[in-house]
Chains A and B, each alone.
Chain A
């Protein structure tokens, strides 16, 4: 098996700042996501981590600084199918939308196929394979709104996989799913990261991700407060630094 070069940067965030009006949300963030990483971006709510994710996705423009994706400045970047995105499900979708699981996952192929082209058998196979990876193939004809939160989560991951990305960015993926589903979710992340060799970056206010499968941790609270190995994270007193005195509540079940 070919060894992954973990020193290769796939996403480079250089001196990025962002403000809404006079409020500084992010200040001078420097952060690289390496090939093969499973990066957990943690920090308190309102600390700017989702804003950072949206900047990397091109949904927001930084007030200052540059972002490079796969070596290309984000302003010139065209190869968006390489970047998979799993949105925070609670905010982004209508439970009554008339779409089956398979129809939702097929959306992951749309941009890949391009304008004026229709999905073909190759796309069909990739859609089925993506559903198998998340163990949802048997639910393919169910309506998306009829599934549990954890199952919907898997479908959105399958949609990102169908795009055949190199990196998947996830926004608060564990919000609104039960404990069992969360464990399955982390097991799936480990498989994607290790077996499919996908780079992952996940924004979470929940420190569970650090204790689980992440290979690196970045803490964002307006500034980049740390970028360390997960083991170091709990040892180094970063918790109090990022979250303040209430940090203990966040890890109560460990």
Chain B
């Protein structure tokens, strides 16, 4: 069984995948509870434009994706705060806008090369040795910042108004959350792909929520579902020669189904 660990690209995929799997629910739980899941999808599409820019100008695509996504995430949050535009309309603007930009850039670069295709659907082959280091470093930074603002994020997700009244700097914490979401999504794209990254952020959390338990235990369950999905997804996709992103997301859905069934049978 462990023979697959002799392939360095599998080990790299697992290392990077494990880090992403640990960080995704930390972001996901707050996005889901704030009814903001769709921002993950939007930021993923912005990442695609960032990756296209990186490939054209010969920059590290992870870094160009991160930069563009972080900038856009702040812009989306500011647009939402002006209240001149509905939150989800702001998301739609950025989702289709960045996809359009990506398409034009791809056209300018004379077509759809294999490289970009891997970013769309995710593949552990896409993960280069330098990517693993970047994913580990930035993943740790994201996890640390979530940890530092954990109590403020919980309060704001539960009752933003009461949190503000008690003196919690809600604007700053909101911006931090959205920037960290942008970073996490850019990091996760090489493995799960643009089209499926939001699933990894959202589905393990939604599965854990079915179990209707405390906040901390919901987060722990989401972490367990996420890590098991990524590890088994990478291994299964290797043996059956399937897409790693697709397999990972199907496994998360399996966990959701099981959690939902368990909740139904135990009348939670």
- Given known A-B contacts A59-B165, A87-B162, A92-B159, A107 and B154 have beta carbons under 8 A apart: yes
A196 part of interface (Cβ distance < 8 Å)? no
Structural contact, A99 and B151, CB atoms closer than 8 A: no
Structural contact, B215 and A92, CB atoms closer than 8 A: no
**What is the CA–CA distance of A59 and B213 in the complex, to the nearest angstrom?**
32
Neighbour of A111 across the interface among B168, B209, B215, CB < 8 A: B168
Structural contact, B165 and A108, CB atoms closer than 8 A: no
Structural contact, B166 and A59, CB atoms closer than 8 A: no
- Given known A-B contacts A59-B164, A87-B161, A110 and B214 have beta carbons under 8 A apart: no
Structural contact, B209 and A107, CB atoms closer than 8 A: no
B212 part of interface (Cβ distance < 8 Å)? yes
A-facing residues in B130-179 (Cβ within 8 Å): 148-149, 151-152, 154-155, 157-159, 161-169
How many contacting A-B pairs (Cβ < 8 A)?
A: 85
Of the four ranges (under 10, 10 to 19, 20 to 34, 35 or more), the interface on chain B belongs to: 20 to 34
B37 part of interface (Cβ distance < 8 Å)? no
**What is the CA–CA distance of A113 and B157 in the complex, to the nearest angstrom?**
18
Taking CB atoms, residues of chain A closer than 8 Å to B148 are 115-116
A81 part of interface (Cβ distance < 8 Å)? yes
Taking CB atoms, residues of chain B closer than 8 Å to A59 are 161, 164-165
Structural contact, B166 and A104, CB atoms closer than 8 A: no
A58 part of interface (Cβ distance < 8 Å)? yes
Structural contact, B163 and A107, CB atoms closer than 8 A: yes
Structural contact, B161 and A107, CB atoms closer than 8 A: no
Tell me the nearest residue of chain B to A141, going by C-beta. Answer: B214
Neighbour of B166 across the interface among A97, A99, A108, CB < 8 A: A108
**What is the CA–CA distance of A212 and B37 in the complex, to the nearest angstrom?**
46
Tell me the nearest residue of chain A to B150, going by C-beta. Answer: A118
Taking CB atoms, residues of chain B closer than 8 Å to A107 are 151, 154-155, 158-159, 162-163, 166
Structural contact, B165 and A98, CB atoms closer than 8 A: no
Structural contact, B209 and A81, CB atoms closer than 8 A: no
Tell me the nearest residue of chain A to B167, going by C-beta. Answer: A80
B-facing residues in A114-165 (Cβ within 8 Å): 115-116, 118-119, 141, 143, 159, 163
B33 part of interface (Cβ distance < 8 Å)? yes
B64 part of interface (Cβ distance < 8 Å)? no
Structural contact, A110 and B168, CB atoms closer than 8 A: yes
Tell me the nearest residue of chain A to B152, going by C-beta. Answer: A110
Structural contact, B209 and A92, CB atoms closer than 8 A: no
Taking CB atoms, residues of chain A closer than 8 Å to B164 are 58-59
Q: Nearest chain A CB to B50's CB is how many angstroms away?
A: 31
**What is the CA–CA distance of A118 and B212 in the complex, to the nearest angstrom?**
25
A25 part of interface (Cβ distance < 8 Å)? no
B interface footprint on A2-43 (CB within 8 Å = 1, 0 otherwise): 000000000000000000000000000000000000000000
Taking CB atoms, residues of chain B closer than 8 Å to A87 are 159, 161-162
B72 part of interface (Cβ distance < 8 Å)? no
Structural contact, B161 and A92, CB atoms closer than 8 A: yes
- Given known A-B contacts A107-B155, A107-B158, A116-B148, A81 and B212 have beta carbons under 8 A apart: no
B-facing residues in A75-100 (Cβ within 8 Å): 78, 80-81, 83, 85, 87, 92-94, 96-100
A57 part of interface (Cβ distance < 8 Å)? yes
Structural contact, B159 and A110, CB atoms closer than 8 A: no
B-facing residues in A221-237 (Cβ within 8 Å): none
**Shortest 4 CB-CB distances between A and B: which pairs?**
A80-B167, A111-B166, A98-B218, A111-B167
A-B contact pairs, 6 of them (CB 8 A): A78-B167, A85-B166, A110-B152, A111-B163, A118-B151, A143-B212
